[in-house]
Every structure is written in C-alpha cells, then in structure tokens.
Amino acid sequence: MDEKFYRWLVQLIRDGQLKKFYDCARWRKLRREAIKRDNNECQMCKHLGRYHRVENVHHIKEVKDRPDLALDINNLICLCVDHHNEVHDRYLSIEEKKQKKLESFKNFDPRERW
Ligand SMILES: [Zn+2]
Ligand SMILES: [Zn+2]
C-alpha cells in the first residue's frame, strides 16, 4: 500500500467515511481476488463441512485498527452473512454486549405480549 492511499484511508476512518473505501476500485479488485482464492465459499461453513456462497469479505484485523492491512489479501476471509455477524459479535466487549441487551429491553413492549 502506498503512503498516499494509507493517509487517505486513515482520514476516512477519522471521518467515519469508511464506506468510501469499500467503494474504491482497489478494494473491489482485491475483494474479487479473495473470493476467487476462497472458491466463492464461506470459509467458516467450509470448516464445518457445509457449503455456503460468499456474502461478505471480512477483514480479520479490522480496517479501523489496522488500516495498513486493509489491502492485504492475507487479512481477508470470505464469509456468509451469518458467520460475518457471528465474527463481529465476538469482537464486542462484555460492556458492549450488556449495552445491546439493555437496548433490546428498552425496545420491549409488554403490551405486545399475550
Ligand atoms: Zn458461513
Ligand atoms: Zn467484517
């Protein structure tokens, strides 16, 4: 990754504009390469002896933590939506999980129960 790209990426992270990275040609090209490498399969499903086509290409080390690895194919893994969610859930700290639970309680409407 060149210096210019790296700086641009760091700025996007600061501005909360990572979507722009996911729209850029360099990411899209690398994403295609990762999908090809992983035979269009969710690698976690594969590990479980199942087949599911790729829905998300995930950064093992998250872009916001390691922008230098954003374009490193060895930092990418192809996953289905379910496994992608699972992986991201795992990253949440216990505090964040508690917060999530609290929020679901807040949205709970007892009148809907019968
Ligand atoms: Zn999967
Ligand atoms: Zn991800």
Which ligand has the minimum distance to the alpha carbon of residue 43? 1
- Going by pLDDT thresholds of 50, 70 and 90, the confidence category of residue 1 is confident
User: How far, in Å, is the centroid of ligand 1 from the Cα of 38?
Assistant: 12
User: How far, in Å, is the centroid of ligand 2 from the Cα of 12?
Assistant: 17
Q: What is the pLDDT of residue 66?
A: 97
Q: Are 68 and 61 in contact, with CB atoms under 8 Å apart?
A: no
User: How far, in Å, is the centroid of ligand 1 from the Cα of 30?
Assistant: 20
Phi and psi (nearest 5°) for 36? Answer: -65, -50
Query: Is pTM, for the whole model, over 0.85?
Result: no
User: How far, in Å, is the centroid of ligand 2 from the Cα of 43?
Assistant: 13
What single-letter amino acid sits at 79? L
Neighbours of ion ligand 1 (CB under 5 A): 42, 44-45, 52, 80, 83
User: How far, in Å, is the centroid of ligand 2 from the Cα of 76?
Assistant: 9
Closest CA to 7 of 86, 67, 84, 89: 67
Q: What is the pLDDT of residue 89?
A: 86
Which ligand has the minimum distance to the alpha carbon of residue 55? 1
pLDDT in tens, 56-110: 999 999 999 999 999 999 999 999 999 999 999 876 666 666 676 667 666 656 5
Bridge partners, 77 (sequence order)? 58
Average pLDDT for residues 33-62, to the nearest whole number?
A: 97
